[in-house]
Amino acid sequence: RIIGAVIFSVIIGLIMAFLFRKEELKRAEGQAGFVIPAGGKPIWQIASLFLSLVFILIFANWGNAGPESKAMYFIFTYKWKLTAAFGLLLAGILVIVLKIRWWKVSLGTLAVIIATIIFPLEPMIPFLIAILALSILIAITPGESREWLGETWFFTKQILPLLVAGVLIAGFLLGGPEGKGIIPEHYISSLLGGNSIMANFFASIFGAFMYFATLTEIPIIQGLLANGMGKGPALTLLLAGPALSLPNMLVIRSVIGNKKTLYYIILVIIMATISGMIYGAI
């Protein structure tokens, strides 16, 4: 999904730039005298903070792929050590970038180390303490840190209800790996089974016009796969879903106009379909 999303976004961007190159040239000429105001943090500081958080999220959630996948299994074996390494990196970034007092960060780090010593076989306990310590640190630090916590809490309140609702609805309608939902399996397998052009195209259309939160895709896709959906159409849905939705289309239309929006929708559907077919054939 990562590879497909990056590649098809680049291709769509290049195609859109080529199709509307004259308009873009005029727009660039009109912005020639625009000066970006000074101030703000250097890009490397923002990038380092973002990447440290991303890698902590990735390694903390790394699943067991089994010994047959040596590289994946190796990472799984050392997932908490890798998470801890990026956690220490984050601690340094908190001091350098967010200007949190070093002794406060040290106290939080010490609490995590003590928890690791006390609960060596329960890595989730030190991890939860680290989250708690981070929350306290940014809550008691005025400025950007406190704003960061406020935005995090705002998105948490938005995401959690959607995630819970998505899991419940998907489980009821589609079932899961160990059970069936109320929608008959043959309906899903007939529309989305295999790796045909129509199955991928239907998944692309469905993903483009449906509106569901990103995290709810996980239980929905799990239920669809358990009921006969092919892996190609599954990727197609995962690519088209975040890229488009009806509210998304309306917003894009208000920004770039009808013509560009139509081209964008068509390109997303086509590229998602092609990506799913390629993945399904691998």
**DSSP code for 175:** E
Please state whether the predicted TM-score (pTM) of the whole model is above 0.95: no
280 pLDDT above the threshold of 80: yes
Task: Report pLDDT digits (tens) over 68-85.
Answer: 778 888 898 999 999 999
pLDDT of residue 69: 77
Confidence tier at 40 by pLDDT (50, 70, 90): low
The token pair that represents 102 in the structure block? 């070093």
13 SS3 class: helix
What's the whole-number mean pLDDT along residues 177-197? 74
Confidence tier at 127 by pLDDT (50, 70, 90): very high
pLDDT of residue 218: 73
Q: How many residues does the chain have?
A: 282
CA distance 53 to 42: 18
Average pLDDT, the chain: 83
CA distances 138 to 88, 101, 247, Å, are 16, 11, 34
What's the whole-number mean pLDDT along residues 128-153? 88
240 pLDDT above the threshold of 90: no
CA distance 202 to 246: 16
| Ranges of each domain in the chain | 43-141, 159-281
- Check residues 87 and 30 and name the one with the higher pLDDT: 87
Name the strand (E) or helix (H) holding 278.
helix 258-281
- Check residues 232 and 71 and name the one with the higher pLDDT: 232
pLDDT of residue 179: 55
Sign of the Cα torsion 207, 209, 214, 215 reads negative
pLDDT of residue 206: 82
**Cα angle vertex 28, ends 24, 30, to 5°?**
120
210 pLDDT above the threshold of 80: no
What's the whole-number mean pLDDT along residues 42-56? 90
CA distances 175 to 165, 216, 224, Å, are 14, 14, 8
